[in-house]
């Protein structure tokens, strides 16, 4: 009778381990992407802005995209995210997230580049009418940008839209900073 109990317990442990393995596979194989509705860049920004407001190194699993730790130092972790294809045939590339290792440290910082579709200053102003000029080229490089930043929202979060000198008509980078 004792050996039957051992066999039964062994089977239950094996089944539980299999279920845990399957759940882990789904979690790390893109299941997190299901949290995102990638209609267009504007919905992408809204979703990620909301997720940044309470993000910390302790609750990264709540971030709607799968993260890969790229580098770290004593103060921050820098994560990379694979490119995201949007429903409007555009995509989001060069996604980088910086998160403080300590509570009360720097606020989360997310940057990305839109690709496959030209987003103009007028497009930005339609979505964020309060943007103001926050940076401009100083003639040093074609990599310099003209940037427009939104006013802080109720949580102090701002979004910066940058247009590079080499292609001044199309949006080149978006930065979302959750102010603390």
Residue 7 and residue 42 in one domain: no
User: Mean per-residue pLDDT for 92-105?
Assistant: 91
Yes or no: say if 31 and 66 are a contact pair by the CB < 8 Å rule. no
The verdict on 106 and 21 lying in the same domain is no
- Does one domain contain both 43 and 24? no
Instruction: Report the alpha-carbon distance of residue 144 to residue 138 in Å, rounded.
Output: 8
pTM, two decimal places: 0.77
2: containing domain: 1-34
Question: How sure is the predictor about 37, in pLDDT bands with cuts at 50, 70 and 90?
Answer: low
Claim to verify: residue 161 and residue 75 sit in the same structural domain: yes
* Close Cβ partners of 132 (under 8 Å, ≥ 6 residues apart): 148, 149, 151
- 84 and 118 belong to one structural domain: yes
Let me know whether 22 and 45 are in one domain: no
- Residue 114 sits at the vertex; the CA angle it makes with 111 and 115, to the nearest 5 degrees, is 140
CA atoms of 15 and 81, how far apart (whole Å): 33
Q: What is the structure's pLDDT at 142?
A: 85
Same domain, 29 and 40: no
Residues 90 and 26 in one domain: no
68 and 18 together in one domain: no
| Better pLDDT: 170 or 31 | 170
Shared-domain flag, residues 26 and 84: no
pLDDT band of residue 21 (cuts 50, 70, 90) is: very low
Same domain, 25 and 93: no
User: Which residues pair with residue 158 across a beta bridge?
Assistant: 177
Query: Which tens digit of pLDDT belongs to each residue from 73-88?
Result: 999 999 999 999 999 8
* CA–CA distance, 87 with 36 (Å, rounded to integer): 11
* DSSP calls for 58-89: GGGGGSSS--EEEEE-SSEEEEEE--EE-TTS
Q: Based on the domain organization, do 102 and 151 belong to the same domain?
A: yes
For the residues 130-149, what does the mean pLDDT come to?
94
Q: Determine the pLDDT at residue 180.
A: 56
Domain count, the chain: 2
Rounded to the nearest angstrom, the gap between the alpha carbon of residue 143 and the centroid of all alpha carbons in its chain is 23
């Amino acid at each position: 009778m004792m050996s039957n109990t051992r066999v039964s317990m062994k089977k239950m442990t094996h089944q539980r381990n299999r279920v845990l393995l399957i759940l882990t596979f789904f979690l790390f194989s893109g299941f997190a992407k299901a949290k995102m509705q990638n209609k267009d860049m504007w919905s992408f920004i809204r979703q990620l802005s909301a997720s940044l407001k309470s993000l910390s190194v302790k609750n990264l699993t709540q971030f709607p995209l799968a993260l890969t730790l790229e580098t770290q130092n004593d103060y921050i972790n820098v994560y990379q995210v694979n490119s995201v294809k949007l429903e409007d045939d555009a995509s989001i590339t060069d996604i980088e997230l910086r998160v403080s290792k300590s509570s009360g440290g720097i606020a989360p910082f997310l940057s990305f580049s839109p690709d496959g579709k030209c987003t103009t200053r007028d497009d930005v102003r339609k979505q964020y009418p309060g943007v103001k000029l926050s940076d401009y080229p100083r003639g040093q490089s074609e990599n310099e940008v003209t940037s427009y930043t939104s006013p802080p929202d109720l949580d102090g979060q701002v979004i910066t839209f940058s247009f590079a000198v080499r292609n001044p008509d199309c949006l080149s980078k978006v930065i979302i900073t959750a102010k603390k």
